[in-house]
Chains A and B, each alone.
Chain A
Amino acid sequence: MRETEDEWTGLMRSAISGDSAAYHRLLKAVTPVLRAAARRGLARAGQPVDQSEDIVQDILLAVHLKRHTWDVRAPFAPWLFAIARNKLIDALRRRGRRIFVNIDDFAETLPGEAVAETASAGEVAAQLQSLPPRQRDVLQAIAVDSASIKDTAAKFAMSEGAVRVALHRGLASLTAKLRGQ
């Protein structure tokens, strides 16, 4: 558990200093833990656990957009679990339940309890359709067609900088829409 946490912290430090592959690995590594916690939270609130993927994606978006609030000298896991707990409470509240989510819910799962991904998430996909066309096209190209920034720029006759801006704005407005729903 300690080792997993240290590994996450190391990956996040690399990510912050510009290593996108480390960032990708980190997000992949934390996702099963987040998923298990989301399912446990839903189950405890008497909600169907197949909504867990929406919560997982919500957490991942928040992690991404708020990662500048992580202190690189601090361990990563407490920060991650604080974000996740916040999002889980929000999600349960939106579904009409007030519930106390214990931070231990996350820590307990740390050893890497693998939970198979079940239903795919609908909320992010649905909000994607309401984005401005340019942001939507760029997000879709990168997410669904797994195009690189360079390919996407060529495809839409944009500069790479403009693709990066559209990508980031798209993710930010996606998050805002999810919060506002």
Chain B
Amino acid sequence: MDTDQLIRTLAADNSSRARPVGFALMLALLAAAPVSLLMFFTELGVRPDVMIAMRNPFFDLKFAVTLALAISAIAVSLHLSRPEASLRGWGWLLLIPAGILTAGIAGEMMMPQRLPMMTRLVGSNSRVCMTAIPLMSLPILAGALIGLRHGAPARPAVAGAIAGLLSAGLAATLYASHCTDDSPLFVATWYTVSAALVTAIGALAGSKLLRF
């Protein structure tokens, strides 16, 4: 087939329309979310004292951090789905959750505490945290990658890493309602380790799956 013939064929297909990447991503995430929710409710569930815990600002802070991570990662991954886009001008969005968390740590430092710092940091659920967040992330990550395949990222590994952050943020939001460790120090340590693991998986998968 010579190039003129190919061009004629492409022009004949001009009426085909693909959905915007944001729409594809939303559909894929909605399809993947029930799997993670099922994992959450069969294995973990919401902590029994949730009504009391909600009065603790540090419990609520966990959701501010994880949702900020998920939302900023969604925005960045949609931006990166355009081939001419780079992280420049957008990467700072990912610092928002880190900023909230830092403010939380500073806030906690200023308050009188019953437990020493290391005890709060180590907590009592670190192993569950590091298992549950990555496992619940995986279905969401798969969905995010399927959705983002509609895009054309210039750097598939970077786009995949951001998809990893996105799914870690959503999975951590679920996990936060189960976990009884509310100290921002615990979140900064173990949630970060979990998110980093999912980010690495996302980068690896993205470098294969997000090429166009």
Residues of A within 8 A of B154 (CB): 82, 85-86
Q: Within the assembled complex, what's the spacing in Å between the Cα atoms of A164 and B3?
A: 20
Interface centre among B8, B20, B84 (most CB of A within 10 A): B84
B83 to A86, Cβ gap below 8 A? Answer: yes
Contact stretch, chosen from B9-17, B138-146, B177-185, B193-201: B9-17
Residues of B within 8 A of A21 (CB): 11
Q: Within the assembled complex, what's the spacing in Å between the Cα atoms of A50 and B18?
A: 33
B12 to A121, Cβ gap below 8 A? Answer: no
Q: Within the assembled complex, what's the spacing in Å between the Cα atoms of A82 and B154?
A: 7
Chief secondary structure at chain A's binding surface:
helix
A residues sitting closer than 8 Å to B (CB atoms) are: 15, 18-21, 23-24, 27-28, 31, 53, 56-57, 60-62, 64-71, 74, 78-79, 81-83, 85-86, 90, 117, 120-121, 124-125, 128, 139, 142-144, 146, 148-149, 164, 167-168, 171, 179
B10 to A27, Cβ gap below 8 A? Answer: yes
With A18-B14, A23-B14, A179-B211 known as contacts, the answer to whether A117 contacts B1 (CB < 8 A) is no
The 4 closest A-B pairs by CB, nearest first: A82-B83, A24-B11, A82-B84, A66-B152
**CB-defined A-B contacts under 8 Å, sample of 9:** A68-B17, A82-B82, A83-B83, A120-B3, A142-B12, A143-B9, A168-B13, A179-B211, A179-B212
Residues of B within 8 A of A121 (CB): 1-3
Q: Closest chain A residue to B152 by CB distance?
A: A66
Minimum CB–CB distance from B13 to chain A (whole Å) comes to 5
A68 to B14, Cβ gap below 8 A? Answer: no
Contact of B7 among A19, A24, A65, A70 (CB under 8 A): A24
Q: Closest chain B residue to A146 by CB distance?
A: B8
A-B contact count, CB below 8 Å? 118
B118 CB-CB contact with A under 8 Å: no
B residues sitting closer than 8 Å to A (CB atoms) are: 1-21, 81-84, 150-152, 154, 211-212
A15 to B14, Cβ gap below 8 A? Answer: yes
Chief secondary structure at chain B's binding surface:
loop
Residues of A within 8 A of B8 (CB): 24, 142-143, 146
Q: Closest chain B residue to A126 by CB distance?
A: B1
B11 to A23, Cβ gap below 8 A? Answer: yes
Q: Closest chain B residue to A28 by CB distance?
A: B7
Q: Within the assembled complex, what's the spacing in Å between the Cα atoms of A67 and B15?
A: 12
Residues of B within 8 A of A139 (CB): 9
Contact of B3 among A23, A56, A68, A148 (CB under 8 A): A56
B2 to A27, Cβ gap below 8 A? Answer: no
Residues of B within 8 A of A57 (CB): 1, 3, 6
Minimum CB–CB distance from B157 to chain A (whole Å) comes to 13
Residues of A within 8 A of B10 (CB): 23, 27, 60-61, 64, 171
Inter-chain pairs besides A71-B82, A171-B10, A179-B211, 13 sampled, C-beta below 8 Å: A24-B11, A28-B7, A31-B3, A53-B3, A64-B13, A68-B17, A68-B20, A68-B21, A69-B152, A79-B82, A139-B9, A144-B5, A179-B212
Minimum CB–CB distance from B80 to chain A (whole Å) comes to 10
Residues of A within 8 A of B15 (CB): 18, 20, 164
A69 to B11, Cβ gap below 8 A? Answer: no
Minimum CB–CB distance from B24 to chain A (whole Å) comes to 10
Residues of B within 8 A of A146 (CB): 5, 8
A62 to B9, Cβ gap below 8 A? Answer: no
Minimum CB–CB distance from A62 to chain B (whole Å) comes to 6
With A60-B6, A86-B154, A144-B1 known as contacts, the answer to whether A164 contacts B13 (CB < 8 A) is yes
Q: Within the assembled complex, what's the spacing in Å between the Cα atoms of A75 and B70?
A: 30
A143 to B16, Cβ gap below 8 A? Answer: no
